Structure 1
Amino acid sequence: MPKKIKWSTLMLAQLALLTAFCVIGRLLTQPIPNVQPVTAILFLVTLYMGVLPAMIVGGLSIVITNLYLGMGIWTIAQIITFCLLCILVAGINCLIPLKNHTGIMLIISFVSGLLYGFLISILLAPFWGVKSFWPYYFSGLPFDFMHGVGNACFYLLFSFPISSILTKRFLK
């Protein structure tokens, strides 16, 4: 049974700041194809705050950044895919407590880049009129690989500072 979320001013402020961090991170890394910090941040939010807060941060981040980068049917596919990835991480976290397993999270972060591309391709192929799915999907695989590498790097980079903030362990 999922834990009940206690909405507090601190939690709302954290969600707002994490959303802003995702937006700024995505906009700053936009010139690098498929490399952005959103997935890593959403995984940390999932582990430390829960799935619903992660979905809120993910949905808001995608909508806000797509106002700058371009809004379209892909916005809905991106939100759905990020939600599915957060649910997947939460499910794995029920089996293996992931907060203390950085190596496993790095693998999950990398694989999620590949899975993200696959899910986006499945969701968007019908809208683009794609007749042959597999060539369409495989043509995007190098970008999905870059997404996975970026996810793992950003997870490694942000895991300590974000987990410290979300567990209120501030450095003195």
Structure 2
Amino acid sequence: MTLQRLTRISLLAALCVALRQAFAPFPNVQPISAIFFLLVIFEDYIFAFLVMALTMFVSAFFMGMGLIVFFQIAAFGCWMLLWRMCYKWLPFAIQILLVGLMSFGYGILIDSVYAVFYHMPWWTYALVNGFSFNLAHALSTIGFYPLLYHIFRRFYVEKNHF
């Protein structure tokens, strides 16, 4: 891996950590999920995965570290791999809706892991309690995705660098 590639990974992860901190007062409203999905499109999967994993790991030092962080990394890594396999055949409007659904599904998946860890009923914790947070995450991803898509496209396609 080249120094330039490592630098881009580090800078994007630092940007994502800063954005996660900046949006911390608004529960689950964050642009980083959209950034991760876009990195899968404009970079390769390994690059996007490293940015995501580094972001989640470093931001966990600020927001609370625990075993759940590794489940978050694994779960979002699987979501990104699934996204990598299917985004090419979808029109842009459907992509926007699908990243929202995937963000909502990610929230349910992580809430389900929490429910198992803390021996709570799944339907009350993962569905009822987490619904508003997962909805906020999905809607914010739907909102940020088209805005950030045009920025990424400009840097990656038109200028062929980031």
Same-fold call, TM cutoff 0.5: yes
CA contact (8 A) 2:31 2:141 kept: yes
Query: Residues 159 and 70 (structure 1 numbering): CA distance in 2 closer, same or farther, change over 3 Å?
Result: same
Could you say which residue in structure 2 is the equivalent of 1:129? 119
Alignment of 1:20-169 (within 5 A): 20-93=14-87, 96=89, 101-130=91-120, 132-138=121-127, 139-167=129-157, 169=159
**Percent of counterpart pairs with the same letter?**
27
CA contact (8 A) 1:77 1:124 kept: no
Contiguous gaps of at least 5 residues in structure 2: none
- How many residues align? The count is 159
Contiguous gaps of at least 5 residues in structure 1: 1-6
Q: For 2:110 and 2:50, how far apart are their aligned partners in 1?
A: 19
Residue 152 of structure 1: how far off its partner (Å): 1.1
- Normalising to structure 1: TM-score of the pair? 0.84
Residue 11 of structure 1: how far off its partner (Å): 2.8
**Equivalent residue of 2:100, what SS?**
helix
**Does 2:8 correspond to 1:14?**
yes
- Normalising to structure 2: TM-score of the pair? 0.89
| RMSD (Å) for aligned C-alpha atoms | 1.7
Instruction: Give the letter aligned to residue 14 of structure 2.
Output: A
Residue 71 of structure 1: how far off its partner (Å): 0.7
Q: Which runs of 4+ in 1 moved over 3 A?
A: 7-10
CA contact (8 A) 2:42 2:152 kept: no
